[in-house]
Structure 1
Amino acid sequence: MYVLTPESMAKCDQETIEAGVPEILLMESAARETAEFADKIIEEKLLNRVNYYQKSEKKKNKNFRITILVGKGNNGGDGLAAARFLASKGYRVEIVLAAAVEDLSGINKKNFELCLYHNLKYYQFDDLNSKKLLSKLKHSDFIIDALLGTGIKGQVRGNSKEIIALINQVVEEDGKKVLAVDIPSGINGEDGSVAGRAVKADYTVTMAAYKRGLLLYPGSDYAGRVEVVDIGIKEDVIAKNSKDLKLFTRSEAQSLLPSRKNDGHKGTFGKIAFLAGSRGMGGAPLLSSEAALRSGSGLVYLLTAAEVEAGIANQLRELLSIPLASSDGIIAEQSLARILDFSAKADLLAAGPGLGNNQATQKVIRGILENLSLPLVLDADALNSITDLDLLKKYDGEILITPHPGEMARLLDKSIAEINQNRIKIAADFAKKYRVNIILKGAATVTAAADGRAYLNQTGTNGMATAGSGDVLTGIVSALIGQGMPIFEAAALAVYVHGRSGELAAEQKSDFGLKSGDLIDLLPEVWNFLKIKY
């Protein structure tokens, strides 16, 4: 499913209009879909009322009050047109204009005139004042936010700022339900940031495709349940303007699942090697290894410091462990030769979980980048051990790196806040510059390829913010690459599966009680959810 910026959405609109679709028809389609979605939500709410079956449809709708808050831009035009559709369904609709009537122009003015023609009641905010509007909102059964659209620049100001505060007040105090048109007012459609103040919506109906601000945080928290509706813009127009960014969905996950040959053997399903673990960090390699085994790997080898290997060798019966020369519990520089020799037998090397970071590990990671050519996954301390980023683009093979925001900040010498404020561009630019694939972890994980393709992920839960969660992801993605999947697709699928296992774990144990091992335990359920067969 494609994801658009406000700018690219505007281009989609313009190209559609230039192809012969009148602008007012696009707005009419958006309004009709908004009204249909609102009606669906209201029906769901009314079905929970004890006296629902005691009311006729006509009486039910007449007694249901909808207040639509309208701005002077096209978002407001959508709201005005939706008001007509909802009134035609029998709802008691009232419109509140944030601007003066004379400020309306073009098709927005035309839709206002049509509302007058149909005898819809309206108020201007300047005539109501805050106290009267607050009372009106408190007596409403449902609120529709059509104040500001996706193209907001700078901070929310004037009447809109005051109205947003009043909407949020009745949401908090009275539990009112709010539907936002296209995006909650005050949310930046590009990066999901709050422009000083934003509507806290329960639902958002968005036109043609997801907007980035609905998927990135904090915008995602303000959007609530998002419904993407078709307003007549062709898919090829949307695809052309999406800048290769898509939302990874269950259908894509199902289409990418690696096949399982009935006559396959251990070698068929991948021989993967983990370079991981150091003194005090024996859990990380076990989590990665077990996650790989739970994700279809045929053979999993663990190359780790000798004293670590002695302590964990028997904790995972299916694991094949190889002790490496070490010093103070961390692999020694002289272990490089054995790592290079053993990697020749593997389909993939994944380095980093719990590895430790000192001069020895830095030299080992450098030696790996300078001498190997098999697919390489670099995570955690393997990333922290890189002292020359140019080694990445010189590598004679494909690389996947899996940084969290802190690791990405170190690699680019930026703050974590800077990374999170511009996650998509930072991941895409890094992938292109250094010719790698990247999973930039965190809320709304971004997976990017060197050729410009990128995915946003929506699965997951805050319970996954726990020690070892990233090690599990490394195991999943390594298993998929080892089974022959292209690295970018394997990365996107692994992120989805990782998040989905977290969701299942949270459902069963709660976000508060989730630990990384729970994700591994539920991986078989996720694979079954995606209809994979073992």
Structure 2
Amino acid sequence: MMWGYSAEQIRAAEAPHLAAGEPLMQLAAAGLAVAIREEFAEMEDSSTGASVLLLVGSGDNGGDALFAGAELAASGCRVAFAQLGSRTHAAGLAAALDAGATIVDLGDDPVTAVTEAATDADVIVDGILGTGAYRSPALRGIAREAVAALRPLAASPRRRVVAVDLPSGIDPDTGALPDETVLPADVTVTFGAYKAGLLRNPGAMYAGRVVLVDIGLLPDLDGVEPLIVG
């Protein structure tokens, strides 16, 4: 049985933990890194020399991806990241660079740069948008163009896509796709509790296998009426 909650319910559950200074992002990133390693283990060319491309947006999902990338780079994975938002999570950026991750130089043709980086990746990590974009979940600008270009590459059986919390572009509450430019995930690693949009079509069809990482929110959601029970 899976209980799917709204973005606002999740954010309300997170608030006291964040106010107390609990490292929710680091807990989420550690769970994300474990899930990515599990994907490597299931692939023919696993772990040694494995390559990861992080698609990094402006919000906390980008930070989650960067901290997970730092763990992976520190353990010997080749990690590159493309900055597709208007800013980058500062602490996550510093951690990734310190661990040996490299920045994709977007240059004058960002879409080609991201596509070329993806051809060398065993796993593409979608950390562009998360529940913070629930009022306007559709991808825009360079991020949208990059995802549109990556969809054929991501469909290759030799490559896996891991979504951070939910595939970017999906409404976290309804599962709707305001724009069909969404990167289908093989695995979605979601944090704290299931988002309702991951249990409702068409969002569920893009989420792949959903892995829940416990970051300590479940007691706060006890007694909260979920949007959906799946």
TM-score, length-scaled by structure 2: 0.90
Is the CA contact 1:147–1:185 (under 8 Å) kept in the aligned structure 2?
yes
1:129 to 2:110 alignment: yes
1:376-455, aligned counterparts within 5 Å? none
- Counterpart in the other structure of 2:119: 138
Percentage identity across aligned positions? 30
- Structure 2 distance, partners of 1:178, 1:86, is 16
1:326-372, Cα deviation, whole Å (9 max, x unpaired)? xxxxxxxxxxxxxxxxxxxxxxxxxxxxxxxxxxxxxxxxxxxxxxx
Give 1:64's aligned residue.
Answer: 50
Deviations 1:80-133 (A, max 9, x none): 101011112211111111135xx23xxx21111222222321125455521232
Q: Which whole-Å CA distance do the structure 1 matches of 2:145 and 2:158 have between them? A: 19
State the match for 2:29 in structure 1.
Answer: 31
Residue in structure 2 matching 1:79, options 61, 65, 68: 65
**Conserved in 1, the CA contact under 8 Å of 2:107 and 2:113?**
no
SS in 1 for 2:76: coil
Structure 1 residue 175: deviation in Å? 5.4
RMSD in angstroms over aligned alpha carbons? Answer: 2.0
Following superposition, the deviation at residue 38 of structure 1 comes to: 0.8
Larger radius of gyration: 1
Q: 114, 124, 128: which one pairs with 2:95?
A: 114
Whether contact under 8 Å (2:74, 2:100) holds in the other structure is no
* Residue in 2 that maps onto 1:157: 140
**Mind listing any 5+ residue stretches in structure 2 that lack a counterpart?**
none
1:21 is matched with which residue?
21
| Structure 1 residue ranges without an equivalent (≥5) | 50-59, 246-423, 425-454, 458-534
- 2:171 equivalent in structure 1: 188
2:198 is the counterpart of 1:214: yes
Whether contact under 8 Å (1:64, 1:92) holds in the other structure is: yes
The answer to whether the Cα contact below 8 Å between 2:39 and 2:160 also exists between their aligned partners in 1 is no
What TM-score results when the alignment is normalised by the length of structure 1?
A: 0.40
Deviation at 1:4, TM superposition (A): 1.3
Match of 1:472 in 2: none
Deviation at 1:62, TM superposition (A): 4.3
Question: What secondary structure is seen at the aligned counterpart in 2 of 1:179?
Answer: strand
Q: Deviations over 1:309-339 (max 9, x none)?
A: xxxxxxxxxxxxxxxxxxxxxxxxxxxxxxx
Corresponding position of 1:45: 43
1:8 is matched with which residue? Answer: 9
What SS class does the counterpart of residue 132 from structure 2 fall into? coil
Which residue pairs with 2:229 in the alignment?
A: 456
Amino acid in the other structure paired with 1:178: V
Any idea what SS the aligned residue of 1:200 has? coil
Count matched residues. 226
Instruction: State the shift of 1:168 in Å.
Output: 1.2
Distance, in Å, in 1 between the alignment partners of 2:94 and 2:109 is 20
Match of 1:205 in 2: 189
Q: Deviations over 1:362-412 (max 9, x none)?
A: xxxxxxxxxxxxxxxxxxxxxxxxxxxxxxxxxxxxxxxxxxxxxxxxxxx
For residues 202 and 143 of structure 1, what CA distance do their matches in structure 2 show? 10
